[in-house]
Structure 1
Amino acid sequence: MKRTLLLINLLLLSVCVFPQENIEVNYATIKKYVENQSDDYQQLIERFEANDSLLSLNDYALIYYGHSFTPKYKGSMELWKELETLMEEKKWEEAYTLLKECRKKNPVSLKLLIYAVNLASELQREEEVQAYIDKYIKLSSAIISSGDGTSEDTAFKVISVNDEYQILNNVFKVEGLKQQSLVNKCDLMEFESSPYYEGTQIYFDISRSLEYMKDLFK
């Protein structure tokens, strides 16, 4: 497990250290693509699951943000209590089987991918560990290429609050998280320091999650 976590840390460090390509995330365009070209989007998901090395950063962005326009999207309301209970009880095989079912519903969840890395590691399935790590790295790269986090206008775009915590804790390694506040369509996260991010606050655009909640309670 420690070796796996070290590998994740080294790979995530490369995400932070090397310059990121900036990508434009246009939700209207992505929505139109997913709804009108659903077969093409599904093919992208299949290539993602197969760890297709030819997928570009823009492809990963489309895969990630596109999920929020599918019927499977649950905003920030997804809970995996049964899975987490099995993991706490160290029932690795049962947990891994359930995890795969959870990922069919949400293949782009960073939290589920971390669970997948941990479970595959416990079961000594090294190739699968690497495959899950690669997915995590590529999706994280797409997210931190969506902005710079310094303002509402340039916020990092995430489709789930869970994902913003993954970026904070596993990519930027923030220390001393102090406050979370909602500023219009953004979560403003304030913290003491980060070795990989300048400043002590980061904006995350959570508009997709907020829109889901709004539609849910109409």
Structure 2
Amino acid sequence: MKYHFFLLFILFSVFGFGQKSKIDLKAIEKNLKNPDSPYNYDKLIFKYKGYPKSLDSIEAQHLYYGRNFRNDKIATSDERFKSLAEAFKQSNFEECIKLGKALYDKDPTNLDVLLILLRSYDSLKDGTNFMHHLNQLRTLTDGIKSSGDGKTEKTAYLVNSIGDEYILLNILNIGKEYTRSSKPSRNGMFDIWEKDGRQIYIKILYLELTN
């Protein structure tokens, strides 16, 4: 969707790429559900909502990739999200904040919701809420960036959705001059973005929920 491109991603350009770590999705699922784990969902989401800058890359990865194992996340096909997107399209930012806060309460690590809230708070000159959600977005996208280096299939960046892929592309400054090819893979789909012989691999995850 077009609103993925609105944010001033120059804000991200000053942030380097941290240490890359192999994503173990089974371990993430187990840790999030384990009340004794330091990566338990309730413990992490408490830190994320209160002080997102306190999360390290492993904690951020648990929150971001852990969305694949939750059955309460808000999809872009959800009527509630469509109402939010329509309010954003009409530049009704007060309504965006009202609807967005309700969806944020249900799905606080949803990048689509965070982006719309960011634009809305920015438009209404609410710097405090803008910076808080920006720090949350930075935390989650830093988790994505630390999932790989994008140079090979084995070290591809991992994203949860096509929408998140385009957010990552903006951060990586990959634009229209790149060509895309795709190929299926286990539990996902590879998109290969190429320009002048340089290739960047991004894997979109398609996972089944485990109950």
Using the size of structure 2 for normalisation, the TM-score is 0.82
Question: Structure 1 regions of 5+ residues with no counterpart?
Answer: 194-198
1:36-185 alignment runs, 5 A limit: 36-37=34-35, 40-73=40-73, 80-169=81-170, 171-176=171-176, 177-184=178-185, 185=188
Question: Structure 2 regions of 5+ residues with no counterpart?
Answer: 1-5
Report % sequence identity.
24
Deviations for 1:108-146, whole angstroms, at most 9, x for unmatched residues? 222222211100111221011111111111111111111
How far is 1:73 from its partner? 3.8
How far is 1:88 from its partner? 2.0
DSSP 3-state at the match of 2:54: coil
How far is 1:148 from its partner? 0.9
1:8-47 alignment runs, 5 A limit: 8-9=9-10, 11-15=11-15, 18-37=16-35, 40-47=40-47
Asked whether the 8 Å contact 2:41–2:63 carries over to 1, the reply is yes
Asked whether the 8 Å contact 1:121–1:129 carries over to 2, the reply is yes
DSSP 3-state at the match of 1:211: coil
Asked whether the 8 Å contact 1:174–1:192 carries over to 2, the reply is no
In the aligned structure 2, how far is the partner of 1:86 from the partner of 1:75? 17
Asked whether the 8 Å contact 1:34–1:70 carries over to 2, the reply is no
Partner of 2:207: 211
Letter of the 1:97 counterpart: K
The CA RMSD measured in Å over matched residues stands at: 2.7
In the aligned structure 1, how far is the partner of 2:125 from the partner of 2:23? 37
Letter of the 1:100 counterpart: K
In the aligned structure 2, how far is the partner of 1:116 from the partner of 1:51? 17
In the aligned structure 2, how far is the partner of 1:50 from the partner of 1:152? 36
DSSP 3-state at the match of 2:72: coil
Deviations for 1:25-47, whole angstroms, at most 9, x for unmatched residues? 11111111122339931121121
In the aligned structure 1, how far is the partner of 2:96 from the partner of 2:76? 22
The change in CA–CA distance for 1:183 and 1:78 in structure 2 (over 3 A counts) is: farther
DSSP 3-state at the match of 1:81: helix
Deviations for 1:145-186, whole angstroms, at most 9, x for unmatched residues? 1111122211111122211110002x1121224324133133
Asked whether the 8 Å contact 1:22–1:147 carries over to 2, the reply is yes
Hey, which of these two has a bigger chunk of helix by percent? 1
How far is 1:74 from its partner? 6.1
Equivalences, count: 199
Deviations for 1:66-117, whole angstroms, at most 9, x for unmatched residues? 2221222467756732111111222211111101122233222222222111
How far is 1:23 from its partner? 2.1
DSSP 3-state at the match of 1:20: coil
